[in-house]
Structures are given as structure tokens and as C-alpha cells.
């Protein structure tokens, strides 16, 4: 057996480089983070051959004084932390003091810097050898330039693992993109093989921030996103979340930043997926650019060499905060009245023309600019329409019988005998479901008429016709709207079922024969510690032994479910994420199936009154832009779109 030897500085740095410097993109990440920590407001990145041949980064930060240049290339040398207290509340992107030493050990590196308030710049060179370096005067403006050439020239085995030039540059470009998204107040220039890729100027206002987002992520993301900015419990979440209809087949448009640091965290991912669960099509991924700000002392960034992962002191608080705020923002997506825009739309670049409606919570509607003609379909004499009952026998975990909807609409003209003013009184529509399930809702959508005219056309307008028994054609103030009546009604019924189910105490049923579930000791501990998770949804689960738990009660809606496997899945979810929503998800899946069967079917003829009732309910229903399966429920074509289609004005 060989004797224990002390590693040489060069070999130690090369070993460390295996963790820090994976590819050219890793070099760019570390160097740019150092520049940002130095207070730079402009970063210029020049790359050759995907970064393998050369990476040159110049910043205008505070620079490095002459006495510290050699030390800067040593391992564990940093100006960012001094004591343990600094490590427990890291406010900088870098802090390990390994980056420059690791990079210089596997490349030919030249570092030139002029420190703030210094009269002369200095340069230090390292070429993968021992860490003894020579310093000499140089010409340079305030800031630092680092020139990295021939990456892995002295470790050929590492170089063989690099991919093609195009692939390596795509990874490098992604790093620049993430950092540009993290700091809008900093300018970024990126060129590859002398060809400019990005020239992003510093921005300080929302309009130009949207321009940067459009440059980096595409205009479509801005056109199909909502802004969010909320605070609670010492946490602030702000940024952009994509509309459910703007989902992706891959999770490639998801950026999450914690105190300015881009991270990929399982807890964060779980919270976002849970928030989008009811509105995404199967297999699709949401899009977002989100920023979480919290006390640095409550998050540990020192858990991974590349600093891509973090650990929250109170993970459950963070998870619940993220889920509840994103979930609410998505729930508030409803058709908007003409002239009402979300905060995000106010930031849109002037040349951005969205094909999807930007939707926000409905506010009070203004008066209509013109009085409708007396012959309008929605101004019919008094009438009452009773629709046929829709009955569907459901095969679920709980049998629901006589599941039906009853439409009732009263609509009439009321004439003031003294002034002759005609008032249009909209009636109401009621959906009645199985009383045993507790779902019985009523929506009164009467419109107030003010002196001097009528109230404005509602966001989804008024129905004109039904197309092939499937779509509702509506005329809105801005153009034409098409609604998938089954998908829209499915969402309305589903949301009402959920509201009724969760607003009251969930009914449970004791099991005649309790179910014993064998688990590990750690899983039994989780059940004991998280009993409230089960009780919240009507489960009564008790620990009965070192490695066993007993299910004594289950919610009625899940009485025929595979209870044992459901409990095991919940425990696994708790172990992996610290939280679990599987019981709620299973209940929601059942209610979604029920609402799908109970929604109005295609080829069923609706009257104008019934169609208008459906439109009004869509305007007040959460998540009405998507059905339970994530499909869009409506789309629109503005008059501008129609004019372009028919070449009007040309």
C-alpha cells in the first residue's frame, strides 16, 4: 500500500476543476458571476470555437489590486466571505474561492485588472503549471479582463468528452441568457467567432425589461404570459408565468431565481407543477421566469459545487407560498373587458401583437358606446326556456345518479312609461347537480343599465350563432369570439364541484374492516408527523406499530379507491418533497371525470339565451380559459385580424 502524500497545488486544482469546470459554459458562468459580484454594469463576452479555443470576458467592475492578483489564482482565496456568519447568509453569487484556480489549472489564462482608485493596471498569467505567477504592468480601463485559451490543453482526456462546437456554444449561450435574465441592470454583449449574438443594454424600467425577455425567450412568451408580484411572510415572488395554453413539450422555458441566483430545485418544481395541475394538457410543461426574494440567512446555497441547488430553512413555507400565489394567479385568468389589460400587457413592446387574448380579472364594465339595435338577438321579448335534462350514469368511485343540468333563462325588455327608455333585463341560469354530492349553484348575470345608455358589451360578448352544434360564435366589442361549448361548460361544472367539495367538511366513512399497511420505520414516522395531511382530506390514518399504519376512515368520494397504494404514494411524496397533494389530485381527477360526463355535449342545440348564459358563467369562473384537460375553451379574432385576413385597407 502506498504512503499518504500531499497533493501538489496543480493536481489539487485540476481535481477541483473536475467539479467546477465541466465545459466552456462552466468557465463563463464562474467568470461572469465574479464580475457581477464586483459590481460590473457591462459585460463583454467573446468566444471562439464554442469556447474551447478562447473565452474572453471584460467587465467594468471594481477590479483587483496588484497585491491580490497572485492570490486570486490560489484555491480557497476570496474576498466574499471571511467568517462563518458570512457563509450562513451569502449575498454574493460566488463564495468558494475555487473558480480562478480551477480554470487556470486547465487552460492558458491571462488576467488583467485596474482596481478602483488605482493609477496603473497589472496583468498576471498562468498556463496550467505550478501556481507561481509573474505580474507585470498593463494598459487597461477600470475593471477586469480574463482571457482563457485552449481549455483542457493539458488534460486531453477531459477534452475528449467535449461535444461539437455548436453544442458547446449552445450551453454557453444558455449561461449568458440566465445571467442576463437575473440582472436587468447590467448590459451583456456576446459574440461567437467574431459574430455578435446578443447586445443587451442595461434597463431600469418594465417596458425595456420586457424587450430583453422578448430578445432572449421570444416574443411569444411575452405575449402569452402574466405578471406576478406578491409578498407574504418575508417572501417576495415576482416575474412572469406563461398562460396554460402556452405550454411546452419540454421543460426548456423555465427559469427560477433565488436572490438573483438561478437554481433548479425539486421543491420549487413540485410547487409550480402543482399550481398548473388543473390547466395543463397531459405531458405538457408550464413556462415561467420567476424571482424569489427572501432573507439570505433562510436559504443555504452551499450544497452543491456548481451552486445550482439550494436548501430552504423552511421548505414547506416556501412550497406553500409558491403554490398558493401561482395557483391564484392562474385561477384569476378570465376573459377581460375591452380596454382592460393585465399588468404584463402594459409592458409589451409596441410591435408585439398577441394572437392569444391577454386575460385578467374582470372589473366594472363601462357604458356601451352605442345603443344596440332593437332587432338584436339578445333583446327578445320576455320568454322562458327550459332545456332538456342531461343525465349521465357515471362509473366512478362513488355512484352519482341523476346528474343533470337545468338551464333557465328569463330575458325581457322593460319600458319606462314616462321616459320611454328601454331596459334590457338579463335573466339567470342555474346548474343543479346531484344534491347528494352537494353541488347546487346559481349565477345571476343581470346587467345594470345606467342613465344615458347601456352598459358595455361583456368580455365574451353576446352569442350570435351555434356552429355545427360544437362552437358558440359570439360578437364582442373588439371582434369575434369562438367558444368550445363542451370544454367551457366542463370547466364551469368542475370548478363548482370543487368549490362545493372543499368549502364544506369533507365527508368521511369509517371502514368496516380497517386496512393495515406495512411500511418502513421512516415511513411510519412520516405518517405520524403528517397526520394533518391525511385528515385534511378525510383520511384517518394511525400508526399501530414500528413499521405499520392503519387506515380507519376514508373520504366518501374515494371509498372505492386503492387506499393502500394511495397511502403509500402519499408517504413517498412526503419523503421526496416534504409535502403531498396526491389525495387532492385523486379527488380532483374523479370530479374532473364527473364534470366531463355532466357537461353539455356536442351536437346539442342551444338557444341564444342558453349560449349567453354560458358566456356569462365563463366570465366569472376561475381557469375558464382551459378545460379540465388543458385544452383552450375559447379564442378570438379582433377586427384588425379580420381586416388583415380580407386585405381591407390595402
Where residue 227 sits, what CATH number does that domain have? 3.30.230.10
Residue 289: Cβ within 10 Å count: 22
Domains in the chain, number: 2
Cα separation of 163 and 165, whole Å?
Answer: 7
Mean local confidence (pLDDT), 361-372: 29
Co-location of 268 and 311 in the same domain? yes
68, pLDDT greater than 80: yes
pLDDT at 96: 66
Q: Which three cell numbers stand for residue 330?
A: 392562474
Cα separation of 159 and 152, whole Å?
Answer: 6
Taking CA atoms, 13 is separated from 68, 131, 132, in Å, by: 19, 10, 13
Of 200, 233, 258, which one is at a domain's C-terminal end? 200
At residue 390 the predicted structure's pLDDT band, cuts being 50, 70 and 90, is very low
Cα separation of 162 and 614, whole Å?
Answer: 58
Q: Domain span at residue 47?
A: 9-200
Burial (CB count <10 Å: 0-12, 13-18, 19+), residue 452: exposed
**584 domain residue, yes or no:** no
Co-location of 186 and 231 in the same domain? no
Average pLDDT of the chain? 78
Proportion of the chain above pLDDT 90, given as a percent = 39
We report the CATH number of the domain holding residue 35 as 3.30.565.10
Cα separation of 72 and 62, whole Å?
Answer: 14
Of 200, 217, 235, which one is at a domain's C-terminal end? 200
425-473 pLDDT, tens digit each: 443 333 333 332 233 333 344 444 334 433 568 889 999 999 998 999 9
Q: Which value, in Å, is the radius of gyration of the alpha carbons in the chain?
A: 31
Co-location of 163 and 213 in the same domain? no
Per the model's pLDDT, the better-predicted residue between 70 and 551 turns out to be 551
**632 domain residue, yes or no:** no
pLDDT at 93: 81
Co-location of 155 and 231 in the same domain? no
pLDDT at 632: 86
**284 domain residue, yes or no:** yes
155-169 pLDDT, tens digit each: 888 888 899 999 999
Co-location of 85 and 115 in the same domain? yes
**309 domain residue, yes or no:** yes
pLDDT at 504: 66
Of 331, 353, 383, which one is at a domain's C-terminal end? 331
Residue 194: Cβ within 10 Å count: 8
Co-location of 130 and 219 in the same domain? no
**267 domain residue, yes or no:** yes
412, pLDDT greater than 80: no
Question: DSSP 3-state assignment of 594?
Answer: helix
At residue 187 the predicted structure's pLDDT band, cuts being 50, 70 and 90, is very high
Cα separation of 427 and 447, whole Å?
Answer: 9
**288 domain residue, yes or no:** yes
**245 domain residue, yes or no:** yes
pLDDT at 399: 30
Co-location of 234 and 195 in the same domain? no
Co-location of 179 and 47 in the same domain? yes
Look at 83-92, 112-121, 307-316 and tell me which has the smallest mean pLDDT. Answer: 83-92
29-57 pLDDT, tens digit each: 999 999 999 999 999 999 999 999 999 99
Cα separation of 458 and 335, whole Å?
Answer: 9
Co-location of 146 and 189 in the same domain? yes
**127 domain residue, yes or no:** yes
For β-strands 311-312 and 299-300, DSSP reports them as: antiparallel
Co-location of 180 and 325 in the same domain? no
Co-location of 190 and 69 in the same domain? yes
378, pLDDT greater than 90: no
Mean local confidence (pLDDT), 109-126: 92
Cα separation of 209 and 220, whole Å?
Answer: 15
pLDDT at 132: 62
Task: From 321, 65, 57, select the one nearest 188 (Cα to Cα).
Answer: 57
Cα separation of 186 and 484, whole Å?
Answer: 46
345-358 pLDDT, tens digit each: 333 333 333 333 33
Co-location of 86 and 130 in the same domain? yes
pLDDT at 144: 96
Do the Cβ atoms of 267 and 315 come closer than 8 Å? Answer: yes
Amino acid at each position: 500500500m502506498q504512503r499518504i502524500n500531499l497533493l501538489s497545488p496543480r493536481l489539487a486544482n485540476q481535481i477541483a476543476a473536475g467539479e467546477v469546470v465541466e465545459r466552456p459554459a462552466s468557465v463563463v458562468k464562474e467568470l461572469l458571476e465574479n464580475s457581477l459580484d464586483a459590481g460590473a454594469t457591462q459585460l463583454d463576452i467573446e468566444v471562439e470555437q464554442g469556447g474551447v479555443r478562447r473565452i474572453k470576458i471584460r467587465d467594468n467592475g471594481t477590479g483587483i489590486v496588484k497585491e491580490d492578483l497572485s492570490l486570486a489564482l490560489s484555491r480557497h482565496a476570496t474576498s466574499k466571505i471571511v467568517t462563518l456568519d458570512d457563509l450562513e447568509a451569502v449575498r454574493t453569487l460566488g463564495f468558494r474561492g475555487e473558480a480562478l484556480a480551477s480554470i487556470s489549472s486547465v487552460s492558458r489564462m491571462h488576467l488583467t485588472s485596474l482596481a478602483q482608485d488605482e493609477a496603473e493596471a497589472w496583468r498576471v498569467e498562468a498556463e496550467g503549471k505550478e501556481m507561481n505567477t509573474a505580474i507585470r504592468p498593463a494598459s487597461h480601463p477600470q475593471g477586469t479582463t480574463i482571457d482563457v485559451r485552449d481549455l483542457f490543453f493539458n488534460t486531453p482526456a477531459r477534452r475528449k468528452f467535449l461535444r461539437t462546437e455548436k453544442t458547446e456554444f449552445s450551453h454557453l449561450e444558455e449561461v449568458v441568457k440566465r445571467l442576463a435574465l437575473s440582472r436587468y441592470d447590467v448590459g451583456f454583449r456576446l459574440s461567437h467567432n467574431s459574430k455578435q449574438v446578443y447586445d443587451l443594454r442595461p434597463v431600469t424600467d418594465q417596458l425595456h425589461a420586457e424587450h430583453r425577455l422578448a430578445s432572449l425567450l421570444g416574443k411569444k412568451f411575452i405575449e402569452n404570459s402574466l405578471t406576478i408580484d406578491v409578498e407574504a411572510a418575508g417572501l417576495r415572488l415576482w416575474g412572469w408565468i406563461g398562460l396554460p395554453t402556452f405550454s411546452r413539450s419540454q421543460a426548456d422555458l423555465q427559469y427560477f431565481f433565488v436572490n438573483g441566483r438561478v437554481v433548479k430545485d425539486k421543491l420549487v418544481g413540485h410547487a409550480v407543477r402543482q399550481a398548473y395541475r388543473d390547466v395543463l394538457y397531459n405531458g405538457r410543461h408550464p413556462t415561467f421566469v420567476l424571482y424569489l426574494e427572501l432573507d439570505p440567512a433562510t436559504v443555504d446555497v452551499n450544497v452543491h459545487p456548481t451552486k445550482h441547488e439550494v436548501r430552504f430553512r423552511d421548505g414547506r413555507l416556501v412550497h406553500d407560498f409558491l403554490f398558493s400565489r401561482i395557483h391564484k394567479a392562474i385561477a384569476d385568468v378570465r376573459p377581460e373587458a375591452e380596454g382592460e389589460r393585465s399588468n404584463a400587457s402594459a409592458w409589451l413592446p409596441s410591435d408585439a401583437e398577441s394572437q392569444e387574448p391577454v386575460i385578467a380579472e374582470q372589473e366594472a364594465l363601462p357604458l356601451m358606446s352605442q345603443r344596440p339595435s332593437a332587432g338584436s338577438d339578445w333583446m327578445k321579448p320576455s320568454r322562458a326556456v327550459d332545456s332538456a335534462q342531461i343525465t349521465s350514469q357515471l362509473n366512478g368511485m362513488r355512484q352519482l345518479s341523476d346528474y343533470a343540468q337545468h338551464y333557465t333563462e328569463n330575458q325581457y325588455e322593460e319600458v319606462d312609461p314616462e321616459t320611454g327608455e328601454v331596459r334590457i333585463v338579463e335573466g339567470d341560469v342555474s346548474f343543479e347537480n346531484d344534491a347528494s354530492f352537494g353541488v347546487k349553484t346559481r349565477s345571476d348575470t343581470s346587467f345594470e343599465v345606467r342613465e344615458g345608455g347601456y352598459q358595455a358589451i361583456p368580455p365574451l360578448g353576446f352569442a350570435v350563432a351555434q356552429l355545427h352544434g360544437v362552437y358558440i360564435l359570439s360578437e364582442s366589442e373588439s371582434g369575434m369570439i369562438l367558444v368550445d361549448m363542451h370544454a367551457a361548460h366542463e370547466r364551469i361544472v368542475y370548478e363548482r364541484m370543487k368549490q362545493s367539495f372543499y368549502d364544506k367538511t369533507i365527508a368521511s366513512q369509517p371502514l368496516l374492516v380497517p386496512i393495515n399497511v406495512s411500511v418502513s420505520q421512516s415511513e411510519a414516522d412520516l405518517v405520524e408527523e403528517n397526520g394533518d395531511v391525511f385528515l385534511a382530506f378525510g383520511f384517518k390514518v394511525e400508526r399501530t406499530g414500528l413499521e405499520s399504519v392503519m387506515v380507519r376512515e376514508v373520504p366518501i368520494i374515494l371509498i372505492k379507491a386503492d387506499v393502500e397504494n394511495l397511502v403509500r404514494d402519499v408517504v413517498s411524496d412526503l419523503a421526496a418533497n416534504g409535502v403531498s397533494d396526491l389525495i387532492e389530485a385523486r379527488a380532483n381527477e374523479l370530479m374532473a371525470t364527473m364534470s366531463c360526463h355532466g357537461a353539455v355535449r356536442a351536437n346539442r342545440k342551444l338557444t341564444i339565451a342558453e349560449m349567453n348564459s354560458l358566456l356569462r358563467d365563463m366570465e366569472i369562473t376561475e381557469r375558464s380559459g382551459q378545460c379540465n384537460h388543458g385544452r383552450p375553451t375559447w379564442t378570438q379574432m379582433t377586427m384588425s385580424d379580420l381586416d388583415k385576413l380580407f386585405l381591407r385597407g390595402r
